Amino acid sequence: MSSIDLGVSMSDSTSLESFIEMASRLGLTGLAAREVKGPLTETVHGISLLKRTDLKGRTLTSIKKQVSKMRPQSMILAVPLTSVEITNWAAGDNRIDILTLDPTRSNRFRESTARLAASTGTHLEIQFAPLLDSIGLTRSKIIKTYREAVGIAKDSGMSVILTSGAKHPLYLRSAMAMRHIGQLLGMDSKYAEAVVSRTPFEILAQNKMKISLKYVADGIEIIVGEDDEEDP
């Protein structure tokens, strides 16, 4: 069982190399982080490195301005759940891959948002770093928030991904450990396994096509014939 961690958030005190080494030890096959240079690169350890961009701004206009520029440069585009206006726009725009749920904020994840995201293939991201950073009542509240969000997404047909949100390599987890975390958050075994070991690879495959020159839009590609490829 393998997985790609699509949500690494490195601190300034750690290096990409230390994450790669830990990922290799854990059996992960890929990492997505803002520190990655190009959309997709391969390391000598066999780890795929994906460029991730988290679009942030106080207004919808400011976020929209970033999308066209960052989509060709990023394998993963994510938007945090903030205002209803921004969240619903992101859920309805198929250029956005991920909606990131912050369990410490009061913004509620709505069924209407989940249904909209399901129609565009946008995924709900659950990061488990907040669980590792909390204890007692705070952790219980986070688990409750995550379980409710997972339930809403699942009932609405919205896909879920589980990521580490790791700021340090020690926060990375193996695919098997991530599956168990998914079960803690209310996923049955089969669903948790798909979330961890299938969905990240589907996102990667789809977005490799999207950033290629032959992709125009969903269902539309530029087909180049042999005569077209010859030099004039």
pLDDT at position 228 over 50: no
The pLDDT score that the predictor gives to residue 213 is 52
Region 191-216 average pLDDT: 84
For residue 173, give the nearest of 41, 40, 165 by alpha carbon: 165
Per-residue pLDDT tens digits for 40-91? 888 877 899 999 999 988 899 999 999 988 988 899 999 999 999 999 999 9
- Measured from the Cβ of residue 93, the count of other Cβ atoms closer than 10 Å reads 17
The pLDDT score that the predictor gives to residue 232 is 42
The pLDDT score that the predictor gives to residue 176 is 96
Confidence of residue 215 (pLDDT cuts 50, 70, 90): very low
| Domain ranges across the chain | 4-209
- Helices 136-156 and 111-120, interaxial angle, to 10°? 50
Mean pLDDT, the chain, rounded, equals: 88
Per-residue pLDDT tens digits for 165-202? 999 999 999 999 999 999 999 999 999 999 999 999 99
Region 14-21 average pLDDT: 88
User: Which CATH number does 4-209 carry?
Assistant: 3.20.20.140
Question: Which residue type does 46 have?
Answer: G
Higher pLDDT, 151 or 108: 151
- Measured from the Cβ of residue 47, the count of other Cβ atoms closer than 10 Å reads 19
- Measured from the Cβ of residue 103, the count of other Cβ atoms closer than 10 Å reads 18
Under a CB-based contact definition with an 8 Å cutoff, are residues 13 and 187 in contact?
no
What's CA 229's distance to the chain center, in Å?
A: 35
Task: Please state, for a pLDDT cut of 70, what percent of the chain lies above it.
Answer: 90
What's CA 136's distance to the chain center, in Å?
A: 28
Give the whole-angstrom CA distance, residue 189 versus residue 88: 30
Q: Output the pTM of the full model.
A: 0.87
pLDDT at position 222 over 50: no
pLDDT at position 121 over 60: yes
Give the whole-angstrom CA distance, residue 36 versus residue 92: 27
* Cα dist from 201 to 29, 35, 225, whole Å: 10, 20, 29
Region 2-16 average pLDDT: 85
Of 11-15, 19-23, 122-126, 138-142, the poorest mean pLDDT is in 11-15
